[in-house]
Amino acid sequence: MDFAWSSEHAALRERTRRFLEAHLPADWESVASQSPGSDAVTRFSKAFCPKLDAAGLFAPHWPKEHGGEGASAWTPFLVGEEMWAAGEPRGPQYYNVNWLGPTLMKYGTEAQKAHHLGRMRAGDVVWCQGFSEPSGGSDLAALRTRAERRGDHYVVNGSKIWTSYARQAEYCFLLARARPEGRAISVFLLPMSREGITVRPIDSVVGDGDLHEVFFDNVAARDDELLGAEGEGWEIVRYALNFERVGIPRYALALKTLHRAVAHLEAGGAFGETAAQAAVAAYAACEAARLLVYEVVDERSRNAPSTGATSMARIAVVAAEREVADFVLDWTPELFTAPTHPMVATHHKRAIAAGLAAGAAEIQLNLIARDVLGLAGRP
Amino acid sequence: MNFELTADQALLLQSFESFLERGSVPSGAHGYVAYSSALQDELGESGFLDVAAQEGFGPLEAAILAERAARSAVSFEFAASALLGPLLAPRGAAGAPTALLWSRTAPARFLSHAKTACLFDGADVLVAAVAPSQVEPADSVAAYPMGRLKTVPKDARRIAGAEADALRRRALVAVAAEAAGLMRGALDQTIDYVKERTQFGQPLARFQAIQHRLAEDATLIRAARLLALRAAFTDLEDDAATACFYAQQTMRKVIHDCHQFSGAMGLTLEYPLHLWTYRLKVLQGEAGGRAEQARRAAAAVWPRRDAESWRRRAEAV
């Protein structure tokens, strides 16, 4: 056990910072202050990601056979911290490299890998996740969308809700029920241009392009669009979500926001004793979240079995987001409207979603109680 | 960055755990304080207190063992002796056990059994050899042996400047690591209890209201341990103050939850919960408490400089 960065990791972080300095335009923060699924950020990401890839910073953790360098699980995290703190210039494409690609590598056919991984690496393809439904959000098992077998293909009927990036997306990672009986679900990789798919944006407080309804009306899905075996969806989703639950290093933007708020108070001579107490509580919550997330990354980098760290990390991250958001509301509310600080309001919007994206955080408390503390079993 | 114990660290921890298992733990009745002077003596002979000075090891290993030691129901001084000992040895200290004093007059943990007193006196540190005759026992609700100095020994050595700062950082880590272990001990005890205790036809452990709070506590405690260990490793002022702040803040919820879920059993001495919670209650106010930790951390994380350095700090994160 040690808490020092290797020289290789320190250099990677430095390289990422230099890349961001060189490639983010002066007005980037006002672009980034729009949501990741907005037209502006999506457009920016399609120009940015290919450059990031050329610099070896987009998918260095992918294996060599898929164009990566086989770098350790730490690599995407270190890069991810810098990207998220900078307002996530990869837009919706961050999860292509984080979990979508790795999930396809594990479960995809050779043809699926050849097509989709190549597109992802090219840095100009947006995916959406067809997970939540009106009848099943955190309770994913309640999902009702059907993929009915008809001759040589499936026919999908149902609807998804809260789907991020759906309007921009070229593909959907779709969960549907191929068998009416039992709990089994299946995963389809569907083009969003397919006839019968309708996307309706939902106005929201988190930003344009973040929430949609997606309707599937007799949508044809080919056999070669099924990921893994029919009914294998739960295993695939578990594998994917294990990446996604700590996929975003949210404490990185939270800390940056906190430092900016403190700098603002200090510049106005208003960073006194009481503010410092509150600021340190928020800072400590961020550092706690960071270490718990690092523990997950460390386990992943060693292929060690999970010790429940993932669920705990998620809980700590949600708490840290809230501490910082509250600090800003309490002490520097004027920053929400300051044209010099567009990312403060953005952080606030993203912090609201932290406890819900990838499933309600309370589910993680259930998992900790059951799997780590052994509280749910018979005495 | 590596969270897995090295082979040497794992072996060290394992042998420390076997030491604790065969050590002179009072069996059955543990009373209010459960201090074991026999175990304290054996510990002194065991070499574990010198771990930070051993080749290949350092303050991180001392903190790993300090956290583990504090999970024990039986009480003995480990954290201060192991973490501050190597810095105090050339400074007139008389060896372990070391007691940390945060005021000239307030009662201090382990002082009645200590050989070395380390008194944080403003920005300075006073170090002195102490004998039981120089200490009067103090009545206290604490589940630690508590004593107070009759007078500060005249031959106490005054340490100032960077050396005093280094001692204070180690002391904050000692408090943070011990607190993390105590919280873990309290949580483990409470988890055992809620699995057994039945109300409304089912074990308390089945109630989601209880599950969620214990899951939150387990998360806070895991983070408190990591923050303490990181601070031991980095020896940075902001890390040490943050770790101690977090532990002192976190224990408020953990103490409350553990007592709440242990019901009236938690108020009895036959049930050992107080051995952790009434130690934690002492640590909650040590080193000035979390308000002082926040001052220290804020000064280290946001040093008051010109606007330009503020901006760079904000950009650098």
pLDDT digits (tens, 9 = 90+) for A6-21: 999 999 999 999 999 9
Q: Say which amino acid occupies A359.
A: G
Q: What is the pLDDT of residue A161?
A: 96
CA neighbor of A223 nearest in space, from A189, A183, A268:
A189
Q: What is the pLDDT of residue A357?
A: 83
Q: Report whether pLDDT(A177) > 90.
A: yes
Q: Which long-range contacts (CB under 8 A, 24 or more apart) does B294-298 make?
A: B294/A276, B294/A277, B294/A280, B294/A281, B294/B241, B294/B245, B295/A273, B295/A276, B296/B172, B296/B237, B296/B240, B296/B241, B297/A280, B297/A283, B297/A284, B297/B238, B297/B241, B297/B242, B297/B245, B298/A276, B298/A277, B298/A279, B298/A280
**Integer Cα distance of A224 and A226 in angstroms:** 5
Q: Does A10 touch chain B (CB under 8 A)?
A: no
**Integer Cα distance of A64 and A42 in angstroms:** 27
Chain A residues closer than 8 Å to B208 by CB? 366, 369
Min CA distance, A104 vs chain B (Å)? 28
- How far CA A347 is from CA of A283, A351, B312, in Å, comes to 15, 6, 19
Please judge whether A292 and B242 are an interchain contact, meaning their C-beta atoms are less than 8 angstroms apart: no
User: For B60, which of A1, A5, A372 is closest by C-beta distance?
Assistant: A1
Structure tokens at B313: 């700090």
Interfacial A residues in 197-226 facing B (CB < 8 Å): none
Q: Where are the alpha helices (DSSP H) in B2-92?
A: 7-22, 37-46, 59-70, 79-88
Average pLDDT for A17-39: 93
Task: Give B283: exposed, middle or buried? Use CB within 10 Å, 0-12, 13-18, 19+.
Answer: buried
User: For A259, which of B5, B304, B317 is closest by C-beta distance?
Assistant: B317
Q: Does A338 touch chain B (CB under 8 A)?
A: no
Q: What is the pLDDT of residue B28?
A: 47
User: For B2, which of A2, A267, A309 is closest by C-beta distance?
Assistant: A2
Q: Report whether pLDDT(A68) > 80.
A: yes
Q: What is the pLDDT of residue B27?
A: 54
CA neighbor of A326 nearest in space, from A342, A348, A345:
A348
* Rounded percentage of chain A residues whose pLDDT exceeds 70: 99
Q: Phi first, then psi: what are they for A336, rounded to 5°?
A: -65, -25
**Integer Cα distance of B247 and A221 in angstroms:** 54
**Integer Cα distance of A27 and A256 in angstroms:** 18
pLDDT band, residue A306 (cuts 50/70/90): confident
Chain A residues closer than 8 Å to B60 by CB? 1-3
Q: What is the pLDDT of residue A379?
A: 38
Q: Can you spell out the DSSP letters for A91-130?
A: GGGHHIIIIIHHHHHHH--HHHIIIIIHHHHHT---EEEE
Centroid of chain to Cα B7: 25
Out of A220-234, A356-370, B170-184, least confident range: A356-370
**Integer Cα distance of B134 and B292 in angstroms:** 29
Chain A residues closer than 8 Å to B210 by CB? 375
Q: How many helices (H) and strands (E) does chain A have?
A: 14, 8
User: For B211, which of A3, A267, A369 is closest by C-beta distance?
Assistant: A369
Min CA distance, A52 vs chain B (Å)? 20
pLDDT beneath 50, residues of chain B: 28-29, 306-307, 310, 317
pLDDT band, residue A208 (cuts 50/70/90): confident
Please judge whether B195 and A4 are an interchain contact, meaning their C-beta atoms are less than 8 angstroms apart: no
Min CA distance, A206 vs chain B (Å)? 24
Chain B's closest residue to A376, CA to CA, is B206
Q: Phi first, then psi: what are they for B213, rounded to 5°?
A: -70, -40
Min CA distance, B20 vs chain A (Å)? 22
Q: Does A312 touch chain B (CB under 8 A)?
A: yes
User: For A292, which of B195, B226, B310 is closest by C-beta distance?
Assistant: B226
Centroid of chain to Cα A331: 29
Q: Are B129 and B147 in contact (CB under 8 A)?
A: no
User: For B311, which of A263, A365, A379 is closest by C-beta distance?
Assistant: A263
CA neighbor of B223 nearest in space, from A251, A289, A13:
A289
CA neighbor of B298 nearest in space, from B281, B316, B313, B315:
B313
Interfacial A residues in 360-379 facing B (CB < 8 Å): 362, 364-366, 368-370, 372-376, 379
Q: What is the pLDDT of residue A377?
A: 63
Min CA distance, B54 vs chain A (Å)? 17
Chain A's closest residue to B231, CA to CA, is A3
Q: Are B66 and B178 in contact (CB under 8 A)?
A: yes
Min CA distance, A283 vs chain B (Å)? 8
User: Does A246 or A56 have the greater pLDDT score?
Assistant: A56
**Integer Cα distance of B293 and A53 in angstroms:** 44
